[in-house]
Amino acid sequence: MDIHDEMLGLVRSRRFGFSLEQPFYTDPRFYEVDLDLIWYRDWLFIGHDCELPKPGSYFTVQVGAHPVIVLRDREGGVRAFHNSCRHRGSRVCSAARGMTARLVCPYHQWTYDLDGSLVYARQMSEDFDRAPYGLKPVACETAGGYIFICLADKPDDFEPFRRTMEPYFLPHRLTEAKVAYESTIIEKGNWKLVWENNRECYHCAGNHPELCKTFPEAPTVTGVQGAESDPEMLAHWAKCEKAGLPSRFRIDPAGQFRATRTPLLQDAVSYTMTGRRAVDRRLSDDVTADRIGSLLLYHYPTTWNHVLTDHAVTFRVLPISATETAVTTKWLVHKDAVEGVDYNLAELIHVWTETNDQDRRIVEENAVGIHSPAYEPGPYSEIHEGGVIQFVEWYCSFIESRLADGEAASMKIVA
């Protein structure tokens, strides 16, 4: 049976409210379909505007088979290109990040300007036309301090996300922040297991003692239902919106992204062991209200986020293989905040460094168990795992429609 037909059959026969069949979490063939139909088609969070402070600033990233360069051009715009020389395909930039006036391929020194155009090709024929051989562009958009790329030839409209996201994020001025610290961990589990673990706090009490000092375990925080009838959430939204901060729960009709602001426990204002600020200088000079809780943003398949009064914590998910996922965490602070003066780095990163490592162990144990021949899909908790159910529904909806499009195209070819 063709892998697409096999996958489509399993999606269509699955039980609502249950985890997926084993191959979705383990099979390299299913993983390749995920890459083709989701990772190579959808908008992916890839980094922050503030990581590209000047023209010529760049960073690189690997998405499946695609190495990509993201840079700031001479006019101050953000662009992305396939990191593959148009001569013989060598990777142009191997460094994770850097600063350059032009992009020079180390193999034969073909040289590209910051707009991707080929400006120099050594010892080619006199009639060689450089114009057709610029770096191939990758669709790139920015919103509220976040950079997204899309590898599709015809990307979906980015504007619906921008319209939803920017009113929540612009007051926090993340375009002007700076990355105080960055870490990447490799979780030995499928990318969907990483997301399922993130989408519930059913596991928090038994696994996250540091996070549970400040972050509420309430299903109305991690899920997609009930917040509109939760008195604490309603009071928090009203207080924050009175201070000019959009806060109410908003979700994309297709379920791919959502934003809301949630209170922290008791009098906590930040993710620290005491609940007090980790950074003395506020993240944004425009946000002066206290106890605004955490602004949450989720965008499948690449990012979840927490933005507080004193700092922001952003997460990027990228698949490596059917059973490995890279999770990159960045702690953002005010651009003028000084380590050792305005914040202690160990205190700033402690809660999420511990939580990330705990989640890594959880995902890896989950993955080991799913590989068992005895594994079969199990029921999610309707009370605590509504967010997981919603993620799985999003995944199945997107993958089914795209598999079905391929099925229809195949039938037309046969006919």
Chain segment 103-116, per-residue pLDDT in tens: 999 999 999 999 99
Q: What is the CATH number of the domain that holds 60?
A: 2.102.10.10
Residues 258 and 341 in one domain: yes
Nearest to 362 by CA among 221, 183, 200, 223: 200
* Alpha carbons 178 and 176: distance in angstroms, whole number: 7
Residues 85 and 227 in one domain: no
Indicate the residue among 104, 124, 150 that finishes a domain: 150
Beta carbons of 114 and 103 less than 8 angstroms apart: yes
- pLDDT tens per residue across span 340-387: 999 999 999 999 999 999 999 999 999 999 999 999 999 999 999 999
Count the helix, strand and coil residues of the chain and give each as a percent rounded to the nearest 5.
Answer: 35, 25, 40
pLDDT number for residue 414 = 42
For position 38, what pLDDT does the model report?
98
Angstrom distance (rounded) from CA 385 to CA 197: 10
pLDDT tens column, 47-88: 999 999 999 999 999 999 999 999 999 999 999 999 999 999
Same domain, 169 and 285: yes
d(CA 20, CA 376): 8
Structural domain includes residue 393 = no
Please identify, among 96, 130, 150, the residue that sits at the C-terminal boundary of a domain: 150
Number of domains in the chain: 2
Range of the domain at 116: 44-150
Q: What is the mean pLDDT of the chain?
A: 95
Strands (E), 197-311: 250-251, 257-262, 294-299, 303-307
Contact between residue 354 and residue 361 where contact means Cβ atoms under 8 Å apart: no
Q: Residue 415's pLDDT is what?
A: 44
The percent of residues in the chain predicted with pLDDT above 90, rounded, is: 93
Domain identity same for 97 and 236: no
Encoded amino acid at 308, one letter: L
pLDDT for 408: 54
d(CA 206, CA 192): 22
User: And the tokens for 318?
Assistant: 């990228």
Place of tokens 């906590």: 268
The Cα 128–Cα 121 span in angstroms is 9
SS3 263: coil
d(CA 265, CA 18) in angstroms, rounded, equals 31
- The answer to whether residue 293 sits within a structural domain is yes
CB 195 within 8 A of CB 301: yes
- What pLDDT does residue 301 have? 98
Last residue of one domain, picked from the residues 108, 127, 150: 150
How much is the pLDDT for 409?
A: 54
| 68 located within any domain | yes
Give CA–CA dist 145/60, Å, rounded. Answer: 18
The CATH number of the domain where 331 resides is what?
Answer: 3.90.380.10
Domain annotation covers residue 406? no
pLDDT at 222: 76
Separation between Cα atoms, residue 299 and residue 91, nearest integer Å: 29
- Say yes or no: 167 and 146 in one domain: no
- Do 210 and 236 lie in a common domain? yes
Residues 336, 315, single domain; the answer is yes
Count CB atoms within 10 A of the CB of residue 26.
18
Could you tell me if 316 and 168 lie in one domain? Answer: yes
Q: Do 205 and 327 fall within a single domain? A: yes
Is the residue at 408 inside a domain? no
Low-confidence residues of the chain: pLDDT under 70: 407-415
In a domain, 334, yes or no: yes
Same domain for 71 and 209? Answer: no
Same domain, 232 and 312: yes
Cα–Cα distance measured from residue 371 to residue 369, given in angstroms and rounded to the nearest whole number: 5
82 in a structural domain: yes
